[in-house]
Amino acid sequence: MTEKKQFIAPFFMLLFFMAFTTPVLQASMSDSYHPYGYFVHPYPNVSLRPGDIVIGHYPGQEYTIVGYWSHAGILYKYDPTVGDWLVVEALLEGVRINTLSEFMSRYSAVIILRVKGVTDSQALSAANWAYSKLGYPYDYNGYYKQVYGPSYYCSELVWAAYKATTGVDIDAYYWLPQNWYGVLPGEIVADSDVYTLWLSDLGF
């Protein structure tokens, strides 16, 4: 297990500001979900697998105490009936499933990560674990994280999926003064147990 470093960084519940819910497998038609319109990214041109992690940046988020990365989800499976990957994500309305295209349309920058040293079957187990939490309510307590709990926030769900099924801790920093023992999307990006598969930044 990679030893985690402690780091001083700010935190606040604005982490969840742009984590809006959308109908299952449907792009939201509400302007409140896309106040700047729909961001159009190229579709990832890399080989993806269940368990890969997708994280988005909302414009202006970098100027808040949340940090640059705003929201996290985990790839569940490719659905040929819709021609898209499905993403499990913890939104303000609870744990839901949406398409990767819908997820990307909310954010001006999107990064897809893979956990190092994890087999395809282990990554699939993490994806299935996250999927098993569909319908769980949103966790508004960002100061802590738990593997087995009654609710989840976005990065907590992704972190817990890997911790529960593989034992890998993808939270880069054990404790932060502003969010204590919670986990931010940016902490997952910064963790030494993950690497970048794909990145799209529209420059906003």
Identity at 188, one-letter amino acid code: I
Instruction: Please report whether residue 51 resides in a domain.
Output: yes
Calpha distance 165→145 (Å, rounded): 16
Range of the domain at 17: 13-201
Calpha distance 104→91 (Å, rounded): 14
Per-residue DSSP letter, 53: E
Instruction: Please report whether residue 7 resides in a domain.
Output: no
In angstroms and rounded to an integer, the radius of gyration of the C-alpha atoms of the chain is: 15
Instruction: Please report whether residue 3 resides in a domain.
Output: no
Beta partners for residue 114, in sequence order? 195
The residue to which tokens 């106040």 are assigned: 35
CATH classification of the domain holding 173: 3.90.1720.10
For the chain, the residue count is 204
Rounded to 5 degrees, φ, ψ at 14 are: -60, -10
Instruction: Please report whether residue 1 resides in a domain.
Output: no
Instruction: Please report whether residue 44 resides in a domain.
Output: yes
pLDDT one-digit tens code per residue, 38-86: 899 999 999 999 999 999 998 877 666 567 899 999 999 999 999 999 9
Tally the domains of the chain. 1
Instruction: Please report whether residue 5 resides in a domain.
Output: no
pLDDT one-digit tens code per residue, 183-197: 999 999 999 999 999
